[in-house]
Amino acid sequence: MIRTLPRDFVLGATSAAYQVEGGLHEGGRIPAAWDSWLQRPSNLFDAEIASDSYHRWREDIENCRQYGIKSLQISFAWTRLQDEEGQANPEGLKFYDAVIDACLEADIEPYVALYQFDLPADLADRGGWLDPLTTERYLAYAKLCFTHFGDRVHHWLTFKDPVTESFHTHITGLFPPGNYFAPEDALHQLYRMTVAHSRAVMLYKGMYPGGKIGIAHRAEPVYPLQDTEADRRAAWLDDAFSNHFLLDLVLDGRSREDTQQAINTVLVPQRNGYFMQDPQEASFLQVAASSLDFLGVNYYASHFTTAWQGGNVIHHNGAGEKGTTTYALAGIGRRVARSEIPTTDWDWSIFPQGLYDMLMRIHREYPAKPILITENGLGMHEELEKGTVEDDDRIDYLRQHISAVLDAIEDGVDVRGFFIWSLVDCMSWTNGYEKRYGLFYVDRADGRRYAKKSAHWLRDFSKRRIMLTLSGLGTAFHADPDADATMDSEGAQQGIQG
């Protein structure tokens, strides 16, 4: 089947500051919470060099130019642009000035995320996003960025993936400071981040009414494992925490009754109903929802949830050992892999139908906003052979997911772009450097970049804007009570318990 991209459809690549830059002690940068977190004795990697983009950014932008990447999504490192007192760092401003100017000179449109996980350490030590000071410092940082770069950057993201940060900070313990099984704190942080988002949107629209600003959500659908009342309830609860809570606030400006019911089913609020909106904050959320220019969708996997009567059990597959993941939360449910749906070595389902379903659901259930696919890609174990990587699986993965997006467009969803994660191989927050996503291979020994086969494919696709796909790649999922799961309830007892 031949698929054609819409005329003005944006096709680009993306990266994130902390995952690619390195240079942690250069340019007046202050510490981030992740710096010390990755120095724990149990950790096997750090971000001291990462992909060395702090020194090799010119090469990365030149590769974009040569391979037809006309839109590049990056994030700024808050820790490079302000000190602990909130004062601007001239060296950081100069660094990102050079990056943005080089993009524009190469005819590459920059899309900039203000924040992606790398919280300044001094704020993390005070309680992170649970402390009101973090929001105030974030807004001062946002104003600095809008003021200094707003004449050249016309597409902004307030946050990338706040649900993942909130949950890994307070439920799985994978992000600093490593709290476990505290869903009330996870939702409290997520709410504080949505309020900060809303105020940043209002700030930007007041400064640049013609500019574009949005937020990126890791929008991964949750399905009941089997078509039973218990599994449907578990999926409803999981979905409320993973998707509805954020989408309600940023697209509707309020938390819907069904979402509140799901949240209250699980939590006995310990913060005087913190998820209930303060009247002033409620007005911020409503104004920002109406002013939001687009929603970013990060998509990597779908989830299949079954009822779970046990306690909290989490085992993170950080080494790419397929079949070792466990994710079960007391009072919510347990996520289980479907044997008929392929997975990556890190147990992420390869299910493009889920992307289509999520796009259709947002289209049906929320006020209309343009959508950008802000991240999608395939992480794999890879080795360089004869100066390249024959990553046909990645090309097939991208074709399937772009095809799912085109299906959604044909069915009425206003999707305007697709960004591939990632431009170069980079540090994965919880998996280190073995999980490679890049269009360009990074040699860890010397930092050199090598174009993979997918980079050549993207150059051709960007030029021709047509691709050949197989039909039926995204077959609809139907719960099958007889289908085998990869893990039984006893197997789920391994891992972190709480």
Token duo for residue 33? 């919470």
Mean pLDDT computed over 22-33: 98
Per-residue pLDDT, averaged over 158-175, amounts to 98
Tell me the pLDDT tens digit for each residue of 285-342. 999 999 999 999 999 999 999 999 999 999 999 999 999 999 999 999 999 999 999 9
Are residues 429 and 19 in contact, defined by beta-carbon separation less than 8 angstroms? yes
Q: Are 197 and 250 in contact (CB under 8 A)?
A: yes
Q: What is the DSSP string of 96-129?
A: HHHHHHHHHHTT-EEEEES-SS--BHHHHHTTGG
pLDDT for position 481: 35
DSSP state of 452: -
CB-based contacts of 407: which residues, under 8 Å, 6+ apart? Answer: 356, 474
Q: Which among 6, 43, 25, 40 is positioned nearest to 428, based on CA atoms?
A: 43
Name the percent of the chain lying above pLDDT 70.
Answer: 92
For residues 271-303, one letter each, b for 16 or more C-beta atoms within 10 angstroms of the residue's C-beta and e for the rest, the string is eeebbebeeebbebbbbbbebbbbbbbbbbbbb
Q: Which residues contact 333 (CB under 8 A, 6 or more apart)?
A: 231, 234, 235, 237, 238, 305, 306, 307, 308
pLDDT at residue 485 above 60?
Answer: no
pLDDT reported for residue 469: 77
- And the tokens for 299? 């998509």
Residue 247: what pLDDT?
A: 98
Q: What is the pLDDT of residue 272?
A: 44
Q: What are the φ/ψ torsions at residue 100 (nearest 5 degrees)?
A: -65, -45
pTM of the model: 0.94
What DSSP string runs through 243-268? IIHHHIIIIISS--HHHHHHHHHH--
pLDDT of residue 471: 52
Q: What is the chain's mean pLDDT, rounded?
A: 93
- CA–chain centroid gap for 187, Å, is 17
pLDDT tens-place string over residues 52-107: 999 999 999 999 999 999 999 999 999 999 999 999 999 999 999 999 999 999 99
What mean pLDDT do residues 260-281 have? 72
pLDDT, position 270:
39
- The pLDDT of residue 267: 82
Residue 402 binned pLDDT confidence (cut-offs 50, 70, 90): very high
Residue extents of the structural domains in the chain: 2-226+246-300+349-474
**What percentage of the chain reaches a pLDDT higher than 90?**
90
**Confidence check: pLDDT of 278 > 50:** yes
Q: Is the pLDDT of residue 497 over 50?
A: no
**pLDDT tens-digit readout, 283-297:** 999 999 999 999 999
pLDDT band at residue 422, thresholds of 50, 70 and 90? very high
3-state secondary structure of 88: strand
Q: What is the CATH number of domain 2-226+246-300+349-474?
A: 3.20.20.80
Tens digit of pLDDT for each residue in 186-220? Answer: 999 999 999 999 999 999 999 999 999 999 999 99
